[in-house]
Chains A and B, each alone.
Chain A
Amino acid sequence: DTEVTQTPKHLVMGMTNKKSLKCEQHMGHRAMYWYKQKAKKPPELMFVYSYEKLSINESVPSRFSPECPNSSLLNLHLHALQPEDSALYLCASRPGQGDINEQYFGPGTRLTVT
């Protein structure tokens, strides 16, 4: 299995809703990432988990809450989002320690906040 999967593909939520995005990989990778991508822009890093521990939080608002239950799974819990949070949310994984840091991306979840 050489892919990163993300569910759901599309999500529409109101500003008072609570929802979660899910990311899964079975490549044995030990680092996992959440990115936010607005239209016509590069991905913006949000969080990095390394060996199931949060290693980087790019000053993301607390209405986004990441969780890494195990080495294969990464969640992003969403609460009280704003319309400007509408974007494509990408998950990525990387093998882990070592000098090759290419990241493998999932297809993304298109989030619309109404």
Chain B
Amino acid sequence: AQSVTQLGSHVSVSEGALVLLRCNYSSSVPPYLFWYVQYPNQGLQLLLKYTTGATLVKGINGFEAEFKKSETSFHLTKPSAHMSDAAEYFCALGSNFGNEKLTFGTGTRLTIIP
């Protein structure tokens, strides 16, 4: 069975500080991993994705994530937080076996402190 765990339902960082949002996964097949962002009363927007190949993935808005198979992790980082980064972030897991579904984590609410 596939599962995603996001550690920390709420994360607060100061403007300009490092953002680190944690995601761990469990999968019996090679995983595809995604980070989505959701602003209030909006849909989900894809930030970045890992499928195969390079383990350091760069996304939009200055975010990046590193796939670490040995740690079954796909943590999201941004060197310098901006007020506009305040949102809900979801890590999601898919695969190329029965690839119609995504398994979502429970989400992390990111708050930026001025």
Query: Chain A: which residue is nearest B88 at the CB level?
Result: A40
Alpha-carbon separation in the docked complex, A94 to B109 (Å) = 26
Q: List residues of A (42-56) whose CB comes within 8 Å of B's CBs.
A: 42-43, 45, 48, 50, 55-56
Count class of interface residues, chain A? 20 to 34
- B37 CB → nearest A CB, Å: 11
- Tally B residues with Cβ within 8 Å of A: 24
B42 touches A107 (CB 8 A): yes
What residues make up the interface of B, taking CB atoms closer than 8 Å to A?
A: 32, 34, 36, 41-46, 49, 51, 90, 94-96, 99-102, 104-107, 109
Interface majority SS (helix, strand, loop, mixed), chain A: strand
Given contacts A88-B41, A101-B99, A106-B43, 12 further A-B contacts (CB under 8 A): A6-B43, A42-B105, A43-B104, A48-B100, A56-B101, A90-B44, A94-B100, A101-B32, A101-B95, A102-B46, A104-B46, A105-B44
